[in-house]
Structures are given as structure tokens and as C-alpha cells.
Amino acid sequence: MAMSGSSALIYSDSYMGYNFSPWHPMKPERLLLTAELVKAYGLQEFPKMEIVEPRLATDEELRLVHDQAYIDKVRELSGPDAEKTYAPGWGLGTGDNPVFSGMHEASATIAGGALKAAQLIMEGNLDHVFHMGGGLHHAQRDRASGFCIYNDVALAAAWLRKTFEARVLYLDFDAHHGDGVQAAFHGDPNVMTVSFHESGMYLFPGTGFTSEIGDGEGRGYAVNLPLAPGASDDILLEAYEELVPPLARAFKPDIIITQDGCDGHWSDPLTHLGYSLAGFAELSRRLHKLVHEVSGGRWLASGGGGYQAYTVVPRAWTRLMADMTEAELPEALPISWRELCGRYADNEVPLTLTGDDPPEADAAIIENARNLAQKGIEEIRNSIFPLTGAENS
């Protein structure tokens, strides 16, 4: 099915400034390599696609989600001697979130990139925007968490609510639970948060169980599917079909925000799921179809986790950008990009866009993962669907 719509990538080399340290697993080079792969494939020359610079979010905008005292603390700890400071009560200076010079400006630029993406979509300039530097879904109102300083996706949703009174459907496919976004809208029936993630029994942040369904007027508008280690593409995609289209049709969003972290890949060093690059590609294809069905094509995709910075992240996110743009890309990766990647990678540079070599799956692990997913799906259908009307969609 052909799907019309113009799209953009929000990116600037300034995003390289969001850099905790050389040893930190969230390597900014993954963004540079993704942008360069998009360019090497010529996607920026495609009639429906452009690359747009982000902007700096103001304190007033940041306050849509974060306390001013926290913003002030981030700014205070952003000086040239930042690495010497330690403020664990704010989630800063910790192993996950070491402070760094220019931290506020780098983080506020990522937040501003999400806001610019939302504005371009809602003012009708673009249908789909990919903000790959974003997806920092763990940051809380008053503290940093899980490599996230400012919560750009929550800010985008809050800005959309304030400016356009938009109904926002937030879909999070990162291996880690989207706890910061859920917390920001736990009582709001106009923002539905849906997170598919490795169970908090095994992985940070230890939340995101099916019993977390929202509070007050927002009861039924927080949806969580925890997955067991080893969950495969088939398990993810089957769960998606069982839950997401019915929820989306019942909710009738004005815009869909997705968090497209690719740390669920089988080779990711920080997680234990079993997705492949082909699985991510199929998920993005289905998301593209869904946004044209239920939200008028309005789709703000964001990045997120992904700690195979050279071999997985650039390929997964370039494929997502291609799907947004409806571009058919050759499987062979451009030689110029492979040479660039080789300057950073300390292992073999990939040859193809979606080629993968996952290890043979253990049947018992897959059965356990499938059983847990099915149990979660049934719990969601029993608890959430009656509250939202999804049972009739």
C-alpha cells in the first residue's frame, strides 16, 4: 500500500556533545554514523525527506516536565570542571549519569529537537519526523536516570497537549521500560503510554509490570508488556498485533510518538532480548501503516537505547528512516560508510543493511518468553481493554 507523506530527520553534529565519557555505553558516535549512513544512501536527496537542525529548548518549555530546581542544578553542574562533581540526589554524577561540560546545553538541544519535530508535524509541514538523538525516556521530573538528563519524548507529548490539546499515543519499544514518560502522564487520559520491554525482574529500571495501568482519570491509559529474556521477533510482532492496533483504534490519537530504541537486539551488551534487524524493520513497516490508519500520518519517531553503536544502531535507524520515506535501499552498505565505520569500530564492519547472524535460539527459553508474553497480553486485554474500549476495536 502506498502511503503519501513528507518526512525529516532532526539532526546536528551538536548532538555529539551529549557525551558522558569515553567509557560510557551510550556513545554519541552512533548518531554520527546513522546520519552519515542516511547521507551515504542518498536519503536526504529523496523528494520526501530533509535533514533539519534542532533548536535549544527554553526553561519554560523544560518546565512542562521538569522542576525548575532540577533544571538549575543541571545548568550549575555543566561547567568546565563538571566531571569533578557528584549530586546523587539529583541522579547526577552517578555511574549511569556522570556530569559533563556543556551538559545543560547538550540536553536542552535534544529536548528542543523533539519540540521542533512536534511543531513541524502539527503545523502541517511534515507528516513523519525521526528525532534519533531523542528517546531519553527515563528522566524524571526532578532527577536524571538511566543515561537521560531531560525527557525529550515526555516534553514533546506535554507540549502537544498544551499547544494543540492533542491526544498523544506513545509507543515505546526500547528494551528498558519507559518509566519517565509513564510517570509524567500517569493520571492523564489524553496521553496513552504503551511500553514493550524486558521485564523489570531482570533489567533496569525494575518497573513496567502489567499491574501498572495508570491512576484516576488516567486509569487504563498506561499499558505495559514485560518480556522475558530471549523474546524473539515473532513474540514481539505477535504481541504488537494483539495489542497496539486495537488500543490505537480505540484511543484515536492525533499523533503517535514512538521510542525506537534498538537495545532489544540479540547482540546488545546491556540487555537480554532476542530481536534482529529484520524484526526492527518489520516493526517500523507496521508502525508506518498504523500511523496512516489512526493518526492522519502524524508520526514523531525517536531514538533511545542501543549499545552496539557501530554494527546495529546505524543500520536499524537508517532502515526506520527509509521506511518513513518509502525509499527502497540496496542491501549492500555503501563503501564510503563502511570505511567511516571502520575508523570507529573495534570489530568487523557490517556488509549489509539488515543482514544478521543471530545464535540458534534455545527452545526452552523461547517457550518461556512466549508464555510470559501471552500471559501479559491476556492480563492487558482483561484489565485495559474494557477501560479504553479497545475490546470493541
Helix axes of 313-325 and 29-40: crossing angle, nearest 10 degrees:
40
Residues contacting 335, CB < 8 A, separation 6+: none
* C-alpha cell recorded at residue 203: 533489567
Instruction: Reduce the DSSP state of residue 155 to 3 states and report it.
Output: helix
Q: Helix %, strand %, coil % for the chain, to 5? A: 45, 15, 45
**Who's near 94: CB < 8 A, 6+ residues apart?**
88, 144
Residue 339 carries which side chain, given as an amino acid letter? E
Helices 233-251, 277-294: axis angle to 10 degrees equals: 10
Provide the phi-psi class of 4: left if phi over 0, else alpha when psi is between -120 and 50, else beta: beta
Instruction: Give the integer Cα–Cα distance in Å for 244 and 256.
Output: 12
DSSP state of 197: E
Instruction: Look up 24 and say whether it is catalytic.
Output: no
Cell numbers linked to 83:
566531571
Strands 49-52 and 7-10 turn out to be parallel
Residue of 137, 138, 177, 272 marked catalytic? 138
| Three-state SS at 11 | coil
Q: What is the DSSP string of 179-192?
A: HHHHHHTTT-TTEE
Q: Which residue has the cell 517457550?
A: 367
Provide the pairing of β-strand 7-10 with 128-131: parallel
Residues annotated catalytic, as ranges: 138
